[in-house]
Structure 1
Amino acid sequence: MITNQELEHKGDQFPSKIVSFNQDVDSIYFNTDNNVILKITILRDSLIRFRYTTKGYFSNDFSYAIDKTQSHGYNQLEVIEESTFYLIKTSKVFCKVNKKNLKISIHDIDGFTILEDEIGFHWEESYEHGGNIVKMSKMSKDGESFYGMGDKPTHLNLKGKRVENWATDQYAFHKDQEPLYKVVPFYIGLHHNKAYGVFFDNTFRTFFDFCHERRNITSFWAEGGEMNYYFVYGPKMADVVTTYTHLTGKPELPPMWTLGYHQCKWSYYPESKVKEVTARFRELKIPCDAIYLDIDYMEGFRCFTWSKEYFPEPKRMVAELAKDGFKTVVIIDPGIKIDKDYWVYQEALAKGYFCRRADGPFMKGKVWPGECNFPDYTNPEVREWWAGLFKELISEIGVKGVWNDMNEPAVMDVPGKTFPYDVRHDYDGNPCSHRKAHNIYGTQMARATYEGVKRFAYPKRPFIITRSAYSGAQRYTSSWTGDNVASWEHLWIANIQMQRMSISGMGFTGSDIGGFAEQPSGELYARWIQLGVFHPFCRTHSSGDHGEQEPWSFGQEVIDITRKFVELRYELLPYLYTMFWQYVNEGTPMLKPLVYFDQEDFHTHYRTDEFIFGNQILVCPILEPNALGRRMYLPKGNWYNYWTNELTEGKKELWIKTDFDQIPIFIKEGAIIPKYPVQQYVGELQFDELTLDVYYKLGKEKSTVYEDAQDGYDYNKGRFSLRTFTLNGKEKELIIQQHKEGTFETGYSNFKINLKALPFKVKKVEVDNEKISLDSLKLNGENTLVLYKDFTELHIIGA
């Protein structure tokens, strides 16, 4: 009798019994009698790689996603043969390999099952394309939740969802639409208060099913390539995310101006329009650091050219904008116009740098310039050539950043909106078809762009932004979420996408504020800017066909709200820069969903709206029209309402009343929040004080402030300033201790300390064990005092 399961997998093949095994340092090989080999590699005690082949040998081991500079090492590795299974032990987990069928189960050191195969690895031969469709199915535990997967525009918790990974130009996408622009085949599972991660490093079209088809089964599969995945053990979600981020790499610190506010539109031209927009920002005193030029700045949409009609003297214009504090960012697409008089086309043609069809000719497709050929960015020689093309833009004209678009790759007027499957790629010496290279094409373009901009911007740091990305792209580039829509649904989606991208290793991301397609109302734009200033990348962008979408397009009230929140972002730049430093150094996500912040609290597992910005600021956007308040959930701890300084105990739901010019923002009790004065652009002001907002707590809390020259690479030579503040509050006293690392001397000499919600009247102040006159501290009725920045201990004693 044939079971349903056998019918379901009729074309599938399965590993048979193990006939031999051997160990080679950190790798254990298991061979079955039907030619399957499983290679298990222990990278860390909590990071294990599983790699299967059905051919009896492994192909060349190559990945664009893995950061080759990361360090590996483990404390324990022991392999024990039992009667029915092999046991692989590290200091964090046990892995059992079933002798009969190669099925895997992974347990913590107490023997609790974290993850186990259902059918496990199986495959189906692909007669159409060659190779295998590779599949994996796992058991799902009761109450299990799933997170991650990049830019999916759906509920943060993926339980019950099926998702697809195929980088796709999805103009005006909608909620739950699959697939989108990014490919991050990494998820986090959470059950019984234990978190783990799975990264399926396969660049073919992949699918993940989180108990959608079958209630207690999680599965993932690919239309080719290897079954090659990494298992990451927590048990904290933070451990999983950090380990995955180390595995796929972290960016270098961006220049601080990139964390300011950016303005973009398709398209600002001619030069007079660009100057009109930038002048208006300065006139209205809405801070702004970057202005973007879309495809119309080029001559007939040809990359690396300038329109003589619209921008006759780009070098002069870019210099004049820079004098007023604006950095110029320009778009560069992958499509190179087929034009015998166009120098970029001539060079690539002569060197054979374009992608070819299977039977020889260069792949041809229509994009903005008309018929184009496309460079093969998977060829290192092509990347090197592409990097060199940026010399004029960056070092001669003075452009400060480059924006890569249409790099899914997107092609017009063809059914799949991309290259045909038979297009060939070099894949760094591992030749393949577009089926394998498609999902990493955009990342390799961004990589080549990054290498060029970095070379010619030196000694300053580069800035790249990409629309399409695969795991690991964060090493080279920031990103945005693509062509969204001016709708309340998309405001909700933007909030979800940013949290999801943050815990998927790609922290430097934002959405098009206000929506790219269609026209937002003033209310929607205001609510979006209130959310967008708390996203790592903060840019308004719109398509030009529906009218204006600058902050002044919606009347005075919206101008004032925009200014208020953009000014708040500029005040918080040292806090945001510190967040970024922690992301770069420790792999800590800059935005933290509530479940990441407190996985033990089951109430957080399905929360989507609230998130932690950095470590100590809780943000809850208003996502509905006509709302002057909302219900929200405060996680564990005590939180101060940013607007009222009222203290509220966490782990509960509550109604928060807000005005149109506010959203619920809370500060963690005991936090010390650094603030700069409001500037119209980064570096505009020299100032002598750094403000520290100190939120009283009965107990201890640590806060950090990282600073450096805000650009350049001296921070790699120790020229940075890292201040760690330890706050210790008692009933009638407050002690703040400061520990400083690094040799960088900040431009300011003093701290202006705002003591928030102090429960006692200040009677005496001691700095480094010396009593200080209250008059000299400029103590006022608001409990503000000014003191020299390099104190070691501040002791405030109450009456």
Structure 2
Amino acid sequence: MITNTELEYKGNLYPNTIVEFHRDTDKLYFTTSNGVILELTILRDSILRFRYATENIFEPDFSYSISENVSIGFNHLKVEETATEYLVYTAKLKVLLDKKTLRTQISDLDGNIINEDELGFHWEENYEFGGNSVKMSKITQNAESFYGLGDKATHSNLKGKRVSNWVTDQYAYGKDQDPLYKAIPFFIGLHNNKAYGIFFDNTFKTNFDFAHERRNVTSFWADGGEMNYYFIYGPQMSQVVKAYTNLTGTPELPPMWAMGYHQSKWSYYPESNVRAIAKNFRKMRIPCDAIYLDIDYMDGFRCFTWDKSRFPNPKKMISDLEEKGFKTVVMIDPGIKIDKDYWVYQEAIENDYFCKRADGAYMKGKVWPGECNFPDFTNPTVREWWAELYKEMMSEIGVHAVWNDMNEPAVMEVPTKTAPLDTRHDFDGHPCSHRKAHNVYGMQMVRATYEGIKKYVYPKRPFVITRAAFAGTQRFSSTWTGDNVATWEHLWIANVQAQRMCMSGYSFVGSDIGGFAEQPNGELFARWIQLGVFHPFCRVHSSGDHGDQEPWSFDDEVTNIVRKFIELRYQLLPYLYTMFYRYSKEGVPMLKPLVHFDQEDHQTHFRTDEFIFGEQILVCPVQEPNAQGRRMYLPRGIWYNYWTNEAVVGGMEKWVVAGLDKIPIFIKEGAMIPKYPVQQYVGELEIKELVLDVYYKNGVETSTVYEDGQDGYDYKKGRYSLRNFNLKGKPNELLIQQFKDGSFITSYETFKMNLHGLPFKIKKIQVDNEFVDLKDVKLNGNNNIHVSKDFTLLHIIGA
């Protein structure tokens, strides 16, 4: 064991003896004789911030990640001192700090160790760039598992893995390739049925080792900046994820059309091609809400311009498409073509908005337009300028949404694929090099885009997409998993990435359905659609180099399967919208790996394929060719097979039949799943009746349906409809109680309840304690009834 009395070991420096302690309200300061200060902040009883300074100096306290709406406040804080340690107590945690080494141990109040330092904080001076490389090592607990860290294309359980965070343009990446497009330095640890999270709020390149180098040690480190991390205690994983998501923020509700099916390709042009694609969707009766224009709509790839030979009148085209129910989404990249006759370039040069190298020259790199300069989006003045650039595009031409790509930033023809490390950035008044700003460059670009779109689509809601992201980017934008490949392996990767992103606070996520690079066959495309319709962001996108990838691009069998599953997504829109409401308001992830759903069942700790869609739908994609079914794990409880209505007891692996036209979908017993009729686009139909698929349970289950105007901001004034249903089943009766909130009046007056699994024949029905004639509820055998949407208590009584 290395003791911290050896102040240097293998080039690393360590804190030594604590010589001073003082408290300032919610902050505790521990100072060592060699100038290390630990600032321990209590945000909540279960959330602690550990921030270390060396040479007695803290850097300015600034973060792009932490939400201004984070909930703080604790119930209890007490500090005790003994001869060898300090003891810090909150209402949920106990922290022990060793006086000789500054190492910490965190326990619950019953004495169970949750997390403890191994070597703890240490650092190494960086003589090349200045500052320190900062490091933290923890003891890996017995049978500990690890999850999170964003878009990693590897097994969901990170035990034994070593990964890094440096946002990178990784075209056609493979399984286990790292790093990728996003840097989300947050992970969840789980052992002894207790979960915690650590968010390492450091924008430099960060690294994580989960018992890879040494099987009993978990460590994380950064190439610069501070050792600054947040510890979040559960003990439920759901509590950890919600708390982290609250810490880094959630988006506002997007318009409902953003949750529909979207079609994209590199590239749809000219205008006649775009119109033909739209016409075919409506002719084939395949629902679709948005068509995307990639870089070829621009004049020579100059952002905020149009190629008038390909799109002579974009305003009219967009207006015509909107009449048919299509929104138009366009791409905007960060690279601005060096062209003295190009108005965007002129404005940036005149106002000194471009990034510069260390010696003052503009940072220059090749992208699609050729040689480009790059705006410094970490400068608030530049962000304001960039937001204003969207005025004409959104307000006058009528574009509905914007897609930011290549914003790592991606630079061609250089080994690093990005800007030189000596590139300078404002960093909101904290000047730095690209080493510190790289991971947040795309985040700050899409932040500026979001502000512009929000301003110029008002009073509608904004919808923005980004490829690159850092922790907290979810406040501004949806995302996708980048340039994947049309392979079965990538279908597996897409499934794991979406679950991992949702566990990392970033739920509005999807993949390029069918694969961006190369060409899927019909079977792979159908299977990918079957997964993609259960991802929060649902878009087909391809490079276009290898053939078409529209729903009708394969044979009739595939087209019909694709239509069937896109229609299912549109039926489930009120369920999906409710999922997003809970994510936005409460930080509940929209997809949940099985370990999140039931962490006490150790069978879930290494599952990758199955996930919970929302709260009550279990989905398991088929990820192998020529499959007529698959083995899957059903978590504990009773689940109804969506296709057959068979009730199945969970807690075991099971073979499920799933020919090409089906994937395993199961509904949790007691669930009430809301459905709309199939629409060709959001808002096409006035909803005359809300369908509720009710699945009997001998016991209690709650369900929620959230609705509002589907766009705009009236919901923030209370014009929403929130219905909470409490279902209670008994052997011979079913009671459903409804609790309503909000002033939004839905277009429908009745519910059609499809009843699944009733163990009795319906004899009588009471609505709000009054018996009703069975004819008045249109009882159809034992299968469905129609009741007023305003009921408070529905009592179904068996014979």
TM exceeds 0.5? yes
Q: Deviations over 1:419-459 (max 9, x none)?
A: 00000000000000000000000000000000000000111
Aligned to 1:557: 557
TM-superposed CA distance for 1:71, in Å, is 2.5
- What CA distance in whole angstroms lies between the structure 1 residues aligned with 2:723 and 2:687? 18
1:679 corresponds to 2:670: no
Q: Distance in 2 between matches of 1:682 and 1:143?
A: 47
CA distance in 1, matches of 2:414, 2:175: 24
Q: Deviations over 1:247-287 (max 9, x none)?
A: 00010001000000000000000000001111111111110
In the alignment, which residue of structure 2 is the partner of 1:589? Answer: 589
How many angstroms apart in 2 are the aligned matches of 1:556 and 1:752? 33
Output the CA distance in 2 between the equivalents of 1:62 and 1:259. 34
Paired AA for residue 720 in structure 1: Y
Is residue 754–residue 782 contact of structure 1 (8 Å, CA) maintained in 2? no
Contact 2:8 2:14 in 1 (8 A): no
Q: Look up the SS of the partner of 1:100 in the other structure.
A: coil
**Paired residue secondary structure (2:605):** helix
Give the equivalent residue in structure 2 for 1:408: 408
SS of match in other structure, 1:505: coil
Q: What does residue 525 of structure 2 align with?
A: 525
Counterparts in 2 of 1:723 and 1:18: CA distance versus 1, 3 Å:
same
Give the distance between the partners of 2:665 and 2:158, measured in 1 at CA.
27
- State how far apart, in whole Å, the 1-side matches of 2:69 and 2:540 are: 35
- Residue 545 of structure 2 aligns to a residue whose secondary structure is helix
Secondary structure, aligned partner of 2:257 = helix
Equivalent residue for 1:367? Answer: 367
Q: Which residue of 2 aligns with 1:48?
A: 48
Letter in 1 for 2:616: Q
Contact 2:7 2:14 in 1 (8 A): no
One-letter amino acid of the structure 2 residue matched with residue 245 of structure 1 = T
| RMSD, matched Cα | 1.2
Q: How does 1:148-159 map to 2 (within 5 A)?
A: 148-159=148-159
**Deviation per CA, 1:375-418, whole angstroms, max 9, x where unpaired?**
00000000000000000111111111100000000000011000
1: distance between equivalents of 2:436 and 2:136? 19
| 8 Å Cα contact 1:286-1:680 kept in structure 2 | yes
Q: For residues 260-409 of structure 1, what are the structure 2 equivalents within 5 Å? A: 260-409=260-409
Deviation at 1:787, TM superposition (A): 1.6
Structure 1 residue 9, shift from structure 2 partner = 4.5
User: Given the alignment of the two structures, is residue 699 of structure 1 paired with residue 699 of structure 2, yes or no?
Assistant: yes
Distance in 2, Cα, partners of 1:468 & 1:660: 34
Cα separation, 2, equivalents of 1:555 and 1:8: 67
Large movers: runs of 4+ above 3 Å: 5-9
> Do the aligned partners of 1:633 and 1:654 also contact (CA within 8 Å) in 2?
yes
Checking the alignment, whether the CA contact within 8 Å between 2:17 and 2:102 is kept in structure 1 is: yes
Consecutive unaligned residues of structure 2, counting only runs of 5 or more, are: none
Give the drift of 1:69.
Answer: 2.1
Contact 1:639 1:647 in 2 (8 A): yes
Match of 1:113 in 2: 113
SS at match of 1:172: coil
Q: Which amino acid aligns with 1:583?
A: Y
Give me the whole-angstrom Cα distance separating, in 2, the residues matched to 1:71 and 1:649.
39
Distance in 2, matches of 1:410 and 1:23, equals 46
Match of 1:139 in 2: 139
Offset from partner CA, 1:613-657 (integer Å, 9 cap, x none)? 000000000000001111110001100000000001111111111
Say which SS state the counterpart of residue 339 (structure 2) adopts.
coil
Q: Look up the match of 1:94.
A: 94
Q: What SS does the aligned partner of 2:592 have?
A: strand
Q: Matches of 2:534 and 2:233 in 1, distance apart?
A: 30
Give the whole-Å Cα distance in 1 for the aligned partners of 2:52 and 2:68.
21
Pair 1:201 & 2:217 matched: no
SS state of the match for residue 28, structure 1?
A: strand
- 1:529-678, aligned counterparts within 5 Å? 529-678=529-678
Superposed displacement of residue 744, structure 1? 0.3
CA–CA separation in structure 2 for the residues paired with 1:772 and 1:85? 71
Say which SS state the counterpart of residue 279 (structure 1) adopts: helix
Report what 2:765 is aligned to.
Answer: 765
* Gap regions ≥5 residues in structure 1: none
Q: 1:447 matched to which residue of 2?
A: 447
Q: Please state how far the C-alpha of 1:788 moved relative to its aligned partner.
A: 1.2
Deviation at 1:186, TM superposition (A): 0.3
Q: Normalised by the size of structure 1, how large is the TM-score?
A: 0.99
Whichever residue aligns with residue 118 of structure 1, its letter is E
Rounded Cα–Cα distance in structure 2 between residues aligned with 1:296 and 1:410: 18
Aligned-pair CA distance for 1:320: 0.3
Match of 1:223 in 2: 223
**Could you tell me which amino acid in structure 2 is paired with residue 27 of structure 1?**
K
Matches within 5 A, 1:118-133: 118-133=118-133
Letter in 2 for 1:284: M
**Secondary structure of the corresponding residue to residue 544 of structure 1:** coil
Bigger CA drift: 510-519 or 786-795? Answer: 786-795
| Partner SS for 2:618 | strand
In 2, Cα distance between equivalents of 1:681 and 1:18: 64
CA 1:645/1:209 → structure 2, altered by over 3 Å: closer, same or farther? Answer: same
3-state SS, counterpart of residue 229 of structure 1: strand
Q: In structure 1, how many angstroms separate the alpha carbons of the residues matched to 2:139 and 2:314?
A: 59
User: Using the alignment, how far apart are the partners of 1:265 and 1:50 within structure 2?
Assistant: 45
The SS at the match of 1:726 is: strand
Give, in whole Å, the separation in 1 of the partners of 2:586 and 2:305: 40
Letter of the structure 1 residue corresponding to residue 324 of structure 2: D
Q: State the match for 2:80 in structure 1.
A: 80
CA distance in 2, matches of 1:13, 1:730: 65
| Cα separation, 1, equivalents of 2:66 and 2:719 | 29
Matches of 2:426 and 2:614, distance apart in 1: 40
How far apart in 1 are the matches of 2:777 and 2:669?
A: 24
Question: Quick one: distance in 1 between partners of 2:83 and 2:628?
Answer: 66
* CA deviation profile, 1:38-80 (whole Å, cap 9, x unmatched): 1000000000000001121211100000002223100001111
Deviations for 1:112-171, whole angstroms, at most 9, x for unmatched residues? 111000000000000000000000000001100000000000000000000010000000
After TM superposition, give the deviation of residue 7 of structure 1 in Å: 13
Please state if 1:461 is matched with 2:466: no
Q: Which residue of 2 aligns with 1:11?
A: 11
CA contact (8 A) 2:34 2:55 kept: no
Q: Percent identity?
A: 69
Q: Is the 8 A contact 2:7 2:13 kept in 1?
A: no
CA contact (8 A) 2:7 2:15 kept: no
Q: Residue in 2 aligned with 1:169?
A: 169
Return the offset for 1:37.
Answer: 0.7
Deviation of residue 8 (structure 1)?
11
CA contact (8 A) 2:59 2:226 kept: no
Q: CA deviation at 1:189?
A: 0.2
CA distance in 2, matches of 1:72, 1:650: 39
Give the match for residue 486 of structure 2.
486
Q: Measure, in 1, the Cα distance between the counterparts of 2:49 and 2:387.
A: 33
Q: Which residue of 1 aligns with 2:243?
A: 243
CA distance in 1, matches of 2:741, 2:2: 68
Deviation at 1:782, TM superposition (A): 5.1
Task: Please report how far the alpha carbon of residue 784 of structure 1 lies from its aligned counterpart in structure 2 after TM superposition.
Answer: 1.3
Counterpart in 2 of 1:688? 688
Aligned to 1:26: 26
Q: Determine whether 1:511 maps to 2:502.
A: no
* 2:780 is aligned with 1:774: no
Distance in 1 of aligned mates of 2:549 and 2:734: 47
The residue that corresponds to 1:256 in the other structure is 256
- Between the aligned partners of 2:71 and 2:612, the Cα distance in structure 1 is 29
Amino acid at match of 2:179: P
Letter in 2 for 1:446: V
2:14 maps to a residue whose letter is F
TM-superposed CA distance for 1:781, in Å, is 2.6
Describe the shift of the 1:6–1:86 C-alpha distance in structure 2 as closer, same or farther (beyond 3 A): closer
Aligned-partner Cα distance in 2 for 1:792–1:233: 38
In 2, the alpha carbon distance for the partners of 1:375 and 1:782 equals 64
Structure 1 range deviating more: 749-758 or 367-376: 749-758
Q: Distance in 1 between matches of 2:416 and 2:88?
A: 45
Task: Give the secondary-structure state (helix, strand or coil) at the position aligned to 2:661.
Answer: coil
| Counterpart residue type for residue 395 of structure 1 | S
